[in-house]
Structure 1
Amino acid sequence: MYPASIRNEATRLRDAGESWSGIARKLGVHRSTLRDWQAGRSARTNDCAICGPCELDEEAYAGLLGFYLGDGCVSRAARTYFLRVACDATQPGVIADVTDLIRRVRPEGRVFHPRAPGVTVVQSNWQHWPCLFPQHGPGRKHERPIVLEEWQRRIVKAHPASFLRGLFHSDGCRVINSTKRPVAGVMKEYRYPRWQFVNASGDIRELCCWALDLVGVAWRRSNPRVISVSRREAVEALDALIGLKS
């Protein structure tokens, strides 16, 4: 996604006789993207109030939005913004997934992996991350309203499985519950899987429930902060939609 000023400058430079390579070096935009702009082939999906029309891989964005709401943040730096998603260092599959989603949403950018004890942070620097995640702001997410813009809701409706994968693979877990019941006078133990989504923000929990409703997966509230998917058929359906964390 690029602001209208960059597109206009690219047009001005091209009209002045600048080569695609020269414009790409000056503006930091891939030559193929510049040519697509001129040919009018850009797949514009929404209008950002700050950047203007933008290009977006919607399926990747839906997943990244889920990860952002779960364990992500957007923070200000001197000349740009950082998108950071904290991942369990023992789950390389999740780290690879977040990395891939960021690269699909912003193909021109670089992805970094700073580390802390037990954690690998997937990070990308870009001045327009706040445009893609208008939910960012000071303080913790559960201390402020989290409401999706209409264009974000449209994307989640189109790609609920990706959104749910981001939520459950960040702030969720798949556990094995056990219970004992008497059968013919003998106590038997039964074990069954369950997905749980845990988040302190009531707004984010509601978004999780809304997305589960979109795909027809039954859920219930285990306690005020936990959304559980426990029925066998519901667990199997969610497994198929989002895969297991690894």
Structure 2
Amino acid sequence: MSANTNVQKIVPFEGSKLSKKEQIASMFDDIAYRYDFLNHFMSLGIDVIWRRKALKYLKSLQPKKMLDVATGTGDFAVMAEKKLQPERIIGIDISEGMLSHGREKIKKLGLEHKITLQLGDSETISFADETFDAITVAFGVRNFENLEKGLAEMRRVLKPGGKLVILEFSNPTVFPIKQLYNSYFRLIVPLIGKFVAKSKAAYSYLPESVKAFPQGEEMRTILLNTGFPAVTCKTLTFGICSIYCATR
């Protein structure tokens, strides 16, 4: 059985005839206007620290051209521009609603000449082989309809010696963090989503998708099997988040 099977079954809208990919795009279109606020609010701002730690894995590489997959509103791309100062960052996402908000943000920051956001699918990346020095994905891989296909596509467009850095939620295993985390994710987060973003479905999907997603050694093995010869995994904040760094 593919490692992708379980996570593919988890969708935002049960009973919908749309594919997971179509549901994800629709869900993010709906919550785009509150996405950045909720990300920082629900993580108490810790997500910003996680992103900084993830980008440190690319500092020695000094990438010139970067791809940010599932870029959303471009938060990670903006931070990468500030911390790594590459010549060019291209962000792709399947939600035009998220991209629209991201372009407004980038314009206000005066970064249009450095960062470009465009509609794009992780499973059919529209760039030639070996185009990018580095690829980042923050809280996006668990939303891929086909995980292995998305990872293989990212490897294809990555230059030899280039790095893929994935930042993703994971499930803590230590008492009492595990119990507190599960209660917060399952009871509080959907309510916040319902009242702030007007979408309980989106924030009910979040804990379910995290639970189903392969983590730790399992995810590391998937990356190795995809063709990355060197893969590391680092857990953060009692295992709530993980950084996977894969070198082509």
TM > 0.5: no
Ranked by relative contact order (alpha carbons within 8 Å, sequence separation 6 or more), the top structure is 2
Looking at secondary structure, tell me which structure has more helix per residue. 2
Higher strand content, 1 or 2: 1
- The TM-score, its normalising length taken from structure 2, stands at 0.28
Normalised to the residue count of structure 1, the TM-score between the two structures is 0.28
